[in-house]
């Protein structure tokens, strides 16, 4: 929504803000929707003291520069159960414990908020897996592949298609039909949940649609 912001220091009014309008010719990325729990791998440059918040680990990032590696959910920080103190946040299906155990390798992703889906054994449909995995959402950033040395449980969500906005409806319909026929691309042999359509112009804009395997929950 548009609004007017002000410079608190000078008291001067700034130009009213209006978000950029997306053209129909701009690109959308269609990814497979994974049935798990949203998780965030937060990596920050470490300060001079090189200490981490509860649940965080200090590791060597790209170029050997120290970074802190920490787990979060949509709304709170996560702390491995064996490291949690009174008042600390709890874990979420073991994601924080996995991050802590693999911090040295995950640091290769570099600073940023790495959003993804933590899925597998005991989470949602589980996909009949006997372990848990983390699929990153930012396929554009990693279109050339993930850095070497990251944990084998780390992957990217599949990208069935990309299209211009004017072709979005037809592309979504085609992708859903393909997933319903052939199943999940991420977990071969398992039923697919659906798709996520994300704007490459404004990453805050995303749409989701479920396959008929989800009983029409669209």
pLDDT given for residue 15 in this prediction: 83
pLDDT given for residue 66 in this prediction: 93
- Distance between CA atoms of 62 and 54, rounded to whole angstroms? 23
pLDDT given for residue 17 in this prediction: 79
pLDDT given for residue 116 in this prediction: 97
Report residue 207 as tokens. Answer: 């749409």
Residues in the chain where the model's pLDDT stays below 70? 1-12, 48-52, 84-89, 213-218
pLDDT given for residue 5 in this prediction: 46
- Distance between CA atoms of 147 and 80, rounded to whole angstroms? 25
Report residue 74 as tokens. Answer: 């949509």
Domains and CATH numbers, the chain: 27-214 (3.30.470)
* Each residue's pLDDT tens digit, 51-79: 567 778 899 999 999 999 999 999 989 99
Relative to beta strand 194-199, strand 206-210 is: antiparallel
Rounded to whole angstroms, what are the CA distances from 206 to 112, 144, 202? 20, 23, 9
Q: What is the 3-class SS of the chain, one letter each residue?
A: CCECCECCCCCCECCCECCCCCCCCCEEEEEEECCCEEEEEEEEECCCCCCCCCCCEEEECHHHCEEEEEEECCCCEECCCCCCCCCCCCCCCCHHHHHHHCHHHHHHHCCEEEEEEEEECCECCHHHCCCEEEEECCCCCCCCCCCCCCCCCEEECCCCEEEEHHHHHHHHHHHHHHHHHHCCCCCCCCCCCEEEEEECCCCCCEEEEECHHHCCCC
Report residue 127 as tokens. Answer: 């996909």
**pTM for the whole structure:** 0.84
Residues 125-134 as b/e (b if ≥16 CB within 10 A, e otherwise) read: bbbeeeebbb
Report residue 123 as tokens. Answer: 């989470």
């Amino acid at each position: 929504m548009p609004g007017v912001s002000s410079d608190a220091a000078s008291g001067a009014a700034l130009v009213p803000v209006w978000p950029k309008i997306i053209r129909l010719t701009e690109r959308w990325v269609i990814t497979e929707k994974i049935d798990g729990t949203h998780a965030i791998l937060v990596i920050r440059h470490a300060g001079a003291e090189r200490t981490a918040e509860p649940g965080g680990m200090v590791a060597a990032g790209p170029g050997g520069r120290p970074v802190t590696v920490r787990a979060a959910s949509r709304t709170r920080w996560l702390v491995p159960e064996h490291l949690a103190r009174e008042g600390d946040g709890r874990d979420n299906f073991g994601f924080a414990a996995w991050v802590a155990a693999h911090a040295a390798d995950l640091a290769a992703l570099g600073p940023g908020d790495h959003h993804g889906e933590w899925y597998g054994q005991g989470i949602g449909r589980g996909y009949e897996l006997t372990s848990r995995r983390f699929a990153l959402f930012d396929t554009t950033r990693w279109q050339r592949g993930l850095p070497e040395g990251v944990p084998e449980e780390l992957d990217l969500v599949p990208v069935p298609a990309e299209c211009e906005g004017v072709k979005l409806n037809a592309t979504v319909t085609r992708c859903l039909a393909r997933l319903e026929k052939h199943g999940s691309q991420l977990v071969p042999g398992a039923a697919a949940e659906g798709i996520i359509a994300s704007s490459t112009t404004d990453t805050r804009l995303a749409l989701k649609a479920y396959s008929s395997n989800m009983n029409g929950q669209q």
